[in-house]
């Protein structure tokens, strides 16, 4: 199973983060399947890839460290594909989403940590 994680701290009003992240995921071609105040799950839409390569994205908002204008979120991007190559499909989606989050004009990036 390929699995990539990263953490971000962004400067945005906490009540705006969820709709902004849902919009970002949808604009990236992902189908948001479930969300709560501190969790979002999205998947790639089946059709063009083998099932094992379909990526799932989970966004977890850390409510304990959230202030009025700073939000910490953790992103997990995974699929069932074995990461036999460094540049696999899951890694490509991870790199793309990481860049989209870091360069998003709707918030200011304070910190980005990849794991």
3-state DSSP of 50-81? CHHHCCEEEEEECCCCCCCCEEEEEEEEEECC
Q: What is the pTM of this model?
A: 0.90
Let me know how long the chain is.
115
Average pLDDT over all residues of the chain: 92
Confidence of residue 87 (pLDDT cuts 50, 70, 90): confident
Residue 35 has pLDDT above 90, yes or no: yes
Residue 67 has pLDDT above 90, yes or no: no
- The boundaries of the domain holding residue 75 are 2-114
Q: Which DSSP letter does residue 45 get?
A: P
What is the CATH classification number for the domain harbouring 84? 3.30.310.80
Comparing 68 with 98, the larger pLDDT belongs to 98
Residue 10 has pLDDT above 90, yes or no: yes
Residue 85 has pLDDT above 90, yes or no: no
CB atoms under 10 Å from CB of 32, counted, come to: 16
User: How many structural domains are present in the chain?
Assistant: 1
Tokens representing 48 are 């063009």
What pLDDT is stored for residue 40 in this prediction? 97
Residue 96 has pLDDT above 90, yes or no: yes
Q: Which DSSP letter does residue 1 get?
A: -
């Amino acid at each position: 199973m390929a699995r990539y994680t990263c953490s971000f701290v962004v400067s945005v009003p906490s009540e705006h983060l969820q709709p902004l992240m849902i919009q970002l995921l949808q604009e990236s071609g992902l189908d948001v399947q479930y969300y709560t105040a501190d969790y979002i799950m999205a998947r790639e839409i089946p059709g063009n890839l083998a099932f094992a390569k379909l990526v799932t994205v989970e966004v977890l908002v850390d409510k304990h460290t959230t202030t009025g204008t700073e939000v910490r979120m953790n992103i997990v991007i995974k699929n069932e594909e074995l990461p036999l190559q460094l540049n696999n499909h899951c890694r490509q989606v991870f790199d793309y989403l990481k860049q989209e989050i870091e360069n998003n004009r709707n918030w200011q990036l304070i910190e980005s940590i990849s794991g």
